[in-house]
């Protein structure tokens, strides 16, 4: 599909609006730190949107929120550093959040810890499609929520927050998801995990798009640890998203 500067610009503006909307939200203990990589890792995120989001897509995959050694470090969803730097060829300066968590320091592209979910996800896509350009011709990967939440050294996922806090957060994220889908016009939106699928169903009610899910690649999932790539491939083939 032809690259559209206008489409890439629309995604960048939508990300900027989402970042501003969630920056104004407050989160009470046990949340000790909130990271918004759309602020301090904006440069690599924009590079990702501009390079790989400037065409219409058949499939948009999206996950829950940034992982501590992935998007939190490099601004790219499921951002296993090696995949982002070597496969996507994205590397740009990353700043520090205003209030850095001493137990989750931001090292940017110098981070040596592996984001297992990202390693599995991008590993499957690189194995099946070869180059990043081949994959992103018809596919895109995003996150529902741009924020990462920590109770000091412990990661807190958005679904563990109280309803009083998730209501305005989900409202902002729903608006962004609808903007993303309106711009990319996919046939499929695939939630990476049950939370993402449920949010897609809620946010995209009435939108002409098919919604499905695949198993989340998290190492916390016993099923994912028993051959995630094979399981996810079977699910995508069964849905008709991919062909043999």
Mean pLDDT of the chain: 96
pLDDT digits (tens, 9 = 90+) for 8-47: 899 999 999 999 999 989 999 999 999 999 999 999 999 9
**Which pLDDT value is given to residue 27?**
98
**Which pLDDT value is given to residue 91?**
98
pTM of the model: 0.96
**Which pLDDT value is given to residue 5?**
77
Q: Which domains does the chain have, with CATH numbers?
A: 5-239 (3.40.470.10)
Residues ≥6 apart with Cβ < 8 Å to 146? 15, 18, 19, 22, 36, 37, 38, 65, 66, 173
pLDDT digits (tens, 9 = 90+) for 76-115: 999 999 999 999 999 999 999 999 999 999 999 999 999 9
- Mean pLDDT confidence for 4-11: 86
pLDDT digits (tens, 9 = 90+) for 185-242: 999 999 999 999 999 999 999 999 999 999 999 999 999 999 999 999 999 999 999 9
**Which pLDDT value is given to residue 129?**
98
- Percentage of the chain beyond pLDDT 70 is 98
- Mean pLDDT confidence for 50-75: 97
Residue 54 pLDDT > 70: yes
- Mean pLDDT confidence for 60-75: 97
Q: d(Cα 95, Cα 101) in Å, to the nearest integer?
A: 14
**Which pLDDT value is given to residue 1?**
43
- Mean pLDDT confidence for 44-62: 97
Contact present, 92 and 110 (Cβ < 8 Å):
no
Contact present, 79 and 86 (Cβ < 8 Å):
no
**Which pLDDT value is given to residue 244?**
84
């Amino acid at each position: 599909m032809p690259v559209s500067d206008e489409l890439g610009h629309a995604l960048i503006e939508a990300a900027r609006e989402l970042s501003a909307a969630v920056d104004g939200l407050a989160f009470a203990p046990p949340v000790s730190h909130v990271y918004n990589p759309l602020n301090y890792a904006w440069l690599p995120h924009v590079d990702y949107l501009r390079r790989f989001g400037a065409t219409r897509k058949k499939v948009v995959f999206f996950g829950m929120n940034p992982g501590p050694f992935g998007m939190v470090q490099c601004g790219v969803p499921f951002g296993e550093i090696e995949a982002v730097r070597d496969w996507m060829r994205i590397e740009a300066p990353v700043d520090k959040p205003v209030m850095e968590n001493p137990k989750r320091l931001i090292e940017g592209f110098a981070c040596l810890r592996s984001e297992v979910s990202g390693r599995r996800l991008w590993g499957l896509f690189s194995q099946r499609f070869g180059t990043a350009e081949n994959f992103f011709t018809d596919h895109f990967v995003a996150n529902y929520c741009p924020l990462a939440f920590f109770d000091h050294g412990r990661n807190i996922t958005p679904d563990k927050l109280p309803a009083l806090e998730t209501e305005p957060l989900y409202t902002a994220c729903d608006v962004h998801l609808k903007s993303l889908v309106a711009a990319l016009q996919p046939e499929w939106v695939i939630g990476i995990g049950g939370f993402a699928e449920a949010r897609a169903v809620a946010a995209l009610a009435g939108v002409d798009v098919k919604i499905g899910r695949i198993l989340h690649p998290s190492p916390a999932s016993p099923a994912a640890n028993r051959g995630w790539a094979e399981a996810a491939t079977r699910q995508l083939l069964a849905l008709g998203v991919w062909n043999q």
